[in-house]
Amino acid sequence: MLLSLAVLLVAGASAGFLSGLLGIGGGLLVVAALSLALPALGVPRAEVMHVSVATSMATIVLTLASSATAHIRRGSVAWASGMWLAPGMVIGGFAGAHVAQLLSAQALRWGITVFCAVTAWRMASSRKRAVRADGPEEVPRSPWLLAAGTGIGAISAMVGIGGGSMTVPLLLSLGVKPVQAVSTSAVCGLAIAISSALSYALSVHSPLQALPWGSVGYLYLPAAAVAALGSMTLAPVGARAAHALPGAVLERVFAIFLLMVGALIAAGG
């Protein structure tokens, strides 16, 4: 048990750093760690993937709260874009968590693995629009971002992430500067995390097997608390690093990170 808790603490700390650095909640890393640690903590193997995804979303709430606060203080959030994305993310996050509860554990596991691979490929191979360092900042504000936010929220809730792996590339493709894209993603991810965590907690489709004490629906709160403890500590450190590194470096780190986590989750099956 102690080893499992240590794994969650380290995973949470790493997720917090990545949250600040890349604008993501580090959810994929937490899902991978949970899928390995939860059986030792009393979670039935048949429920491990659903509990891992749900608990990751609860962890992301605190992780992104810490990361978002750091980015807001630096004044780098594209609020005009975020105000269009966030409402759709709330709707999509709640609905996506509901759909995930209907899927089998294997479907969730391989869905997450494929998601990691596809997103990493897109980040590594896509061609970005040039942004002049001395030119005006592009801040897209359009109603169609509401629909984009809904899709991002639904997919994120199903794989246990804060949506940064989709929100960041979307904003970059629209000409938003990398550090602004990271900052806005961190703030908007809170909408996804809160709505999906609530949906998993309400769990319209109850777990087939009893979960250990401390569970609320599919959320296993003790594991979420341990991972969040580590994540909140290092999220501000990651945010400082994001403001110091070139955008191209951030994107390469992002792609490598996704490939490694996808391989870890697949191996867990």
Q: Residue-wise over 42-58: b if at least 16 C-beta within 10 A, else e?
A: ebeeebbbbbbbbbbbb
**Structure confidence at residue 137 as a pLDDT band (50, 70, 90):** low
Question: Once rounded to an integer, what is the mean pLDDT over residues 128-135?
Answer: 47
Indicate the SS3 state at residue 104: coil
Beta bridge partners of 215: 220
Lowest model confidence (mean pLDDT) among 114-118, 139-143, 247-251: 247-251
Q: Does residue 233 have a pLDDT over 80?
A: no
Backbone angles phi, psi at 215, to 5 degrees: -95, 140
Greater confidence, 202 or 20?
Answer: 202
Q: Does residue 119 have a pLDDT over 90?
A: no
pTM of the prediction?
A: 0.80
What is the pLDDT at residue 88?
Answer: 95
Cβ neighbors of 9 (< 8 A, separation 6 or more) are 226, 227, 229, 230
What is the pLDDT at residue 133?
Answer: 46
Domain ranges, ordered by start, for the chain? 2-267
Backbone angles phi, psi at 66, to 5 degrees: -70, -45
Tell me 126's DSSP state. P
* pLDDT tens by residue, 156-180: 999 988 888 789 888 888 888 888 8
Q: Does residue 15 have a pLDDT over 80?
A: no
- Encoding tokens for residue 206? 């109850």
Cβ neighbors of 244 (< 8 A, separation 6 or more) are none
What is the pLDDT at residue 59?
Answer: 87
Q: CB–CB of 22/250 below 8 Å?
A: yes
Percent residues over pLDDT 70 in the chain: 84
Q: Residue-wise over 10-21: b if at least 16 C-beta within 10 A, else e?
A: ebbbbbbbbbbb
Percent residues over pLDDT 90 in the chain: 23
**Structure confidence at residue 54 as a pLDDT band (50, 70, 90):** very high
Q: Does residue 259 have a pLDDT over 90?
A: no
Distance from C-alpha of 260 to C-alpha of 51, rounded to nearest angstrom: 21
Q: Does residue 131 have a pLDDT over 50?
A: no
H or E element that contains 215 = strand 215-216
What is the pLDDT at residue 60?
Answer: 85
Q: Does residue 87 have a pLDDT over 90?
A: yes
Q: Does residue 107 have a pLDDT over 70?
A: yes
Q: Judging by beta carbons within 10 Å of its beta carbon (0-12, 13-18, 19+), is residue 248 exposed, middle or buried?
A: exposed
Amino acid identity at 2: L
Nearest to 67 by CA among 224, 240, 253: 240
What is the pLDDT at residue 134?
Answer: 45
Question: Once rounded to an integer, what is the mean pLDDT over residues 233-249?
Answer: 70
Determine if residue 160 is left, alpha or beta; phi over 0 gives left, psi from -120 to 50 gives alpha, anything else beta: left
